[in-house]
Amino acid sequence: MKNNIVLALTKGRILKESLPLLANAGVEPAEPIDTTRKLLLETNHEDIKLAILRGVDVPTYVKYGVADLGIVGKDILLEYGSDGFYEAVDLGIACCRLVTAGIPNMVPDVGTLRVATKFVNITRDYFGRKGRQIDIVKLYGALELAPLMDLSDVIVDLVDTGNTLRANGLIPFEEILEISSRLIVNKTSIRQKTPFLLPFIDSLEKSV
């Protein structure tokens, strides 16, 4: 049985905010992440490696046991499900809000609402609980353009400072969820590698 531990990290803001937590837990990449093109990195522990992935791919790597652990946003977990792994720790990093937003006074009160988002499942569940019929327009970026170009009535997207919304003449309407990043653990790995994973998880939790 392999005792190596692979930790999948989400690129971007989550990666940047994960590194200090890992350092506090005694784990640091063997080379600077911001200058290397490698996606699988050695660390100062010969039995721990870091895989750098897109957020949507982190749960898949952990689910299939290719990675033992992962750090990913709660929005991704809610959107794609959590089959095959446990949500172990709320790391309290990369915090933001998932909101509905649009042009002030331009949202119809009745009828089918057109909603642009990449969070299809969360959006369908949210408006379903409100009893509002919607038509989802799935987009992967530049969501703020959708209401401006009459592609949608509102958007559902992540917001941090709200500066991008304001710059495009949009305002947030309703908060759906508060989002932070979570540590997830493969269900098989936690059983097979308990002596190696639990101390690491404990150290990471204490560093939060």
CATH at residue 171: 3.40.190.10
Say whether both 88 and 23 belong to one domain: yes
Q: Going by C-beta distance under 8 Å and a sequence separation of 6 or more, which residues neighbour residue 142?
A: none
Task: State how far the Cα of 60 lies from the Cα of 74, in Å rounded to an integer.
Answer: 14
Say whether both 23 and 123 belong to one domain: no
**Structural domains of the chain, count:** 2
Say whether both 28 and 87 belong to one domain: yes
Q: Residue 34: what pLDDT?
A: 85
Say whether both 171 and 194 belong to one domain: no
Say whether both 47 and 89 belong to one domain: yes
Partner residues linked to 136 by β-bridges: 115
Domain of 32?
5-94+180-207
Q: What is the pLDDT of residues 22-48, one digit of tens each?
A: 999 999 999 999 888 999 999 999 999
Say whether both 36 and 47 belong to one domain: yes
Query: Which pTM was predicted?
Result: 0.92
Q: What is the pLDDT of residues 198-207, one digit of tens each?
A: 999 999 999 8
Mean per-residue pLDDT, 81-88 = 91
Say whether both 115 and 77 belong to one domain: no
Say whether both 153 and 72 belong to one domain: no
Say whether both 168 and 144 belong to one domain: yes
Say whether both 101 and 151 belong to one domain: yes
Among 115-124, 148-157, 191-200, name the one with the lowest average pLDDT. 191-200
Say whether both 59 and 12 belong to one domain: yes
Count how many Cα atoms sit within 13 Å of the Cα of residue 50 in the half-sphere of its side chain: 25
Say whether both 190 and 121 belong to one domain: no
Question: Among 159, 177, 142, 181, which residue's Cα sits nearest to residue 10?
Answer: 181
What tokens does 68 get? 């033992």
